[in-house]
C-alpha cells in the first residue's frame, strides 16, 4: 500500500513538473557541485529491547543472537561531495561520494545472557575460561558510500529520495565478555567453579565490500548567504536490522 | 518529443523507486572474513591401550598447511588442520559472530582475529584418548 502511495506521489510530482516545463524553460545550470557534512542519530525511535523468540533446534544462531539485548542509540557522521544533474525542471539526479561512519551497539545485563558457551583451555595458567556471555556488541562501519538520489525541487525547498550504496567498509567489531574460570584439576562435568571473575574484550577488524543499501529520504531548504548557497537538511536512513537513522547537516553549493 | 522524453524519465523514476522499496538487504556472511589458507601448529598427545605402534603414548608437535572453508550449514566452518596427509579430515565447527567456535566432537576455541585461530579438544575412546591443541595463522 505504501509503495502504491509513493508511486502515485511521484506521478503527481512528475505531471506537475511536466506542465510547468511547458510554460517555462529552465535557465539554471545543468550540473551543480556541492559539499555536504552532517551527523546522524540512530535508534531514537521505536522499541529498543529485542524480545526473545522461541528457539527451534534448526535455527541458526544469528536468528537469536540479539534476543534479550537492547539496541543502544548511537551517533554517526558523514561528509563528502555531491554532484547534481538537472534532468528537467524541478527534477534532479544527485550522486557523489561520501564517507559515512555508522555504529550498532547491542547491550545486555550480565546475569540475563546465557546464549552460548565454549570452554577455552588456557595452557599457561591451567584454567578453563568460559568464553560466554557476550554482554555488549559494538560494531563500527566506516563506509565509502555512493548516494543515488532523485531530487525534487520547488523554489527553495528540495526533497530527496534514493539510496546510499555502501561500496566499501572498514568494519570493526568489539565484543565484551564476562569470563568465568574453572580449575583444570577437576574433570568435567564436576569443574570447580571459580568465577565470574573478570570481563574482557575482543576486537575484530576487517575491510569488506558489503554493497549494503540504505534507503534515504531527505528534505533541505536553500539559504543565500552572500554568494554562497547553504542548504540545511534533515532526513532519515533505513539501516540494517530495522534501524532508523535521523540525519541532519548542511549542503554547501559550490 | 519533449513530452515523450519526460514520460520515459517519469517511468524511470518509478522503476527506480520500486527497486529501492523492493531491495531486500541481505546481511553479509559473517564467516567470510575467517575463510582462507592457514598454517597450523598442532600439538597432539594420545594414549592407546596396547603395544606400539598402534598402542602406547604419543606426544608430538607438527606443522601443517591447511585451510578454513564454509561448512555445510550457514553457521559452520570446516577446518582442515590435517590437510596435506593422505586423507583430508576436516572438523566442522559452529562459528559465532564473535569468532567463538565449537564442534560436536569436543573441539572448542576461537578466532582471536581474522588471521589467527586457536582451538583444542579431542576424542575419548574406551581404549584411550587423542587430544589436539591447535594454533592456525592465516597464510598470505
pLDDT means per 10 residues in chain A (254 residues)? Answer: 48 44 51 91 80 75 80 92 88 93 85 43 43 78 92 90 90 81 49 55 84 89 86 87 84 86
Shortest CB distance from B16 goes to which of A134, A150, A210? Answer: A150
Contact call for B133 and A121, based on CB within 8 A: yes
Q: Please check whether residue A193 lies inside any domain of the structure.
A: yes
Residue (of A242, A93, A100) closest to A160 by Cα position: A93
Which alpha helices (DSSP H) does chain B contain, by range? 2-22
Whole-number pLDDT of residue A81: 94
Q: Please check whether residue A14 lies inside any domain of the structure.
A: no
- Per-window interface: B 82-111 vs A, CB < 8 A: 94, 96-102, 108-111
Q: Please check whether residue A20 lies inside any domain of the structure.
A: no
For residues A209-224, b (16+ Cβ closer than 10 Å) or e, as one string?
Answer: ebebbbbbbbbbeeee
Q: Please check whether residue A10 lies inside any domain of the structure.
A: no
Instruction: Give how far the C-alpha of residue A34 lies from the chain's centroid of Cα atoms, to the nearest Å.
Output: 23
Query: Is-contact A246 A238, C-beta < 8 A?
Result: no
Number of domains in chain A: 1
Whole-number pLDDT of residue A245: 87
B2 pLDDT higher than 60: no
Task: Tell me the fold of B32-138.
Answer: Lipocalin (2.40.128)
CB-neighbour burial class of residue A141 (10 A; exposed 0-12, middle 13-18, buried 19+):
buried
Chain A CA closest to residue B76? A60
State which residues form the domain around A215.
28-253
- How far is the alpha carbon of B113 from chain A, nearest alpha carbon, in Å? 6
Please indicate, yes or no, whether the overall pTM of this predicted structure exceeds 0.95.
no
Q: In this predicted model, what pLDDT tens digit does every residue of A109-162 receive, in sequence order?
A: 765 344 344 444 444 443 444 445 688 899 999 999 999 999 998 888 999 999
Give residue limits of the domains in chain B. Answer: 32-138
Whole-number pLDDT of residue A239: 78
Q: Please check whether residue A42 lies inside any domain of the structure.
A: yes
Q: In this predicted model, what pLDDT tens digit does every residue of B51-104 receive, in sequence order?
A: 877 788 889 898 988 999 999 888 899 999 876 556 677 899 988 888 888 887
Q: Which candidate in A61, A118, A159, A239 is best for mutational testing of the B interface (most B CBs within 10 A)?
A: A118
Q: Please check whether residue A8 lies inside any domain of the structure.
A: no
Residue (of A162, A163, A158) closest to A231 by Cα position: A158
Q: Give B15's pLDDT tier (boundaries 50, 70, 90).
A: low
Whole-number pLDDT of residue A129: 44
Q: Please check whether residue A16 lies inside any domain of the structure.
A: no
Model ipTM value: 0.73
Amino acid at each position: 500500500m505504501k509503495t502504491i502511495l509513493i508511486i502515485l506521489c511521484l506521478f503527481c510530482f512528475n505531471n506537475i513538473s511536466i506542465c510547468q516545463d511547458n510554460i517555462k524553460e529552465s535557465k539554471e545550470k545543468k550540473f551543480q557541485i556541492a559539499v555536504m557534512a552532517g551527523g546522524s542519530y540512530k535508534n531514537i525511535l521505536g522499541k529498543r529491547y529485542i524480545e526473545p523468540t522461541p528457539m527451534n533446534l534448526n535455527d541458526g544462531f544469528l536468528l537469536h543472537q540479539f534476543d534479550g539485548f537492547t539496541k543502544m542509540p548511537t551517533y554517526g557522521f558523514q561528509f563528502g561531495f555531491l554532484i547534481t544533474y538537472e534532468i528537467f525542471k524541478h527534477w534532479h539526479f544527485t550522486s557523489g561520494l561520501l564517507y559515512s561512519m555508522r555504529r550498532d551497539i547491542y547491550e545486555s545485563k550480565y546475569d540475563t545472557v546465557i546464549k552460548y558457551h565454549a570452554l577455552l583451555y588456557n595452557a599457561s595458567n591451567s584454567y578453563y575460561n568460559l568464553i560466554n556471555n557476550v554482554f555488549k556488541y559494538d560494531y563500527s562501519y566506516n563506509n565509502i558510500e555512493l548516494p543515488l538520489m532523485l531530487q525534487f525541487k520547488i523554489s527553495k525547498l528540495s526533497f530527496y529520495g534514493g539510496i546510499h550504496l555502501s561500496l566499501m567498509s572498514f568494519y570493526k567489531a568489539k565484543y565484551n565478555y564476562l569470563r568465568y574460570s574453572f580449575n583444570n584439576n577437576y574433570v568435567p562435568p564436576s569443574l570447580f567453579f571459580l568465577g565470574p571473575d573478570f570481563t574482557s574484550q575482543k576486537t575484530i577488524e576487517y575491510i569488506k565490500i558489503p554493497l549494503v543499501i540504505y534507503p534515504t529520504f531527505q528534505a533541505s531548504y536553500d539559504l543565500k548567504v552572500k554568494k554562497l548557497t547553504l542548504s540545511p537538511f534533515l532526513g532519515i536512513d533505513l539501516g540494517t536490522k530495522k534501524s532508523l537513522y535521523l540525519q541532519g547537516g548542511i549542503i554547501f553549493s559550490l | 518529443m519533449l513530452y515523450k522524453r519526460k514520460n520515459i524519465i517519469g517511468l524511470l523514476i518509478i522503476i527506480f523507486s520500486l527497486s529501492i522499496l523492493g531491495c531486500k538487504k541481505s546481511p553479509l556472511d559473517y564467516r567470510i572474513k575467517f575463510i582462507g589458507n592457514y598454517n597450523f601448529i598442532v600439538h597432539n598427545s594420545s594414549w592407546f591401550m596396547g603395544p606400539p605402534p598402534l598402542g602406547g603414548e604419543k606426544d608430538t608437535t607438527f606443522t601443517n598447511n591447511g585451510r578454513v572453508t564454509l561448512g555445510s550449514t550457514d553457521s559452520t566452518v570446516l577446518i582442515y588442520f590435517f590437510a596435506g596427509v593422505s586423507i583430508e579430515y576436516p572438523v566442522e565447527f559452529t562459528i559465532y559472530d564473535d569468532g567463538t567456535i565449537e564442534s560436536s566432537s569436543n573441539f572448542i576455541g576461537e578466532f582471536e582475529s581474522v588471521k589467527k585461530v586457536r582451538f583444542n579438544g579431542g576424542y575419548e575412546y574406551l581404549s584411550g584418548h587423542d587430544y589436539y591443541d591447535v594454533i592456525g595463522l592465516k597464510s598470505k
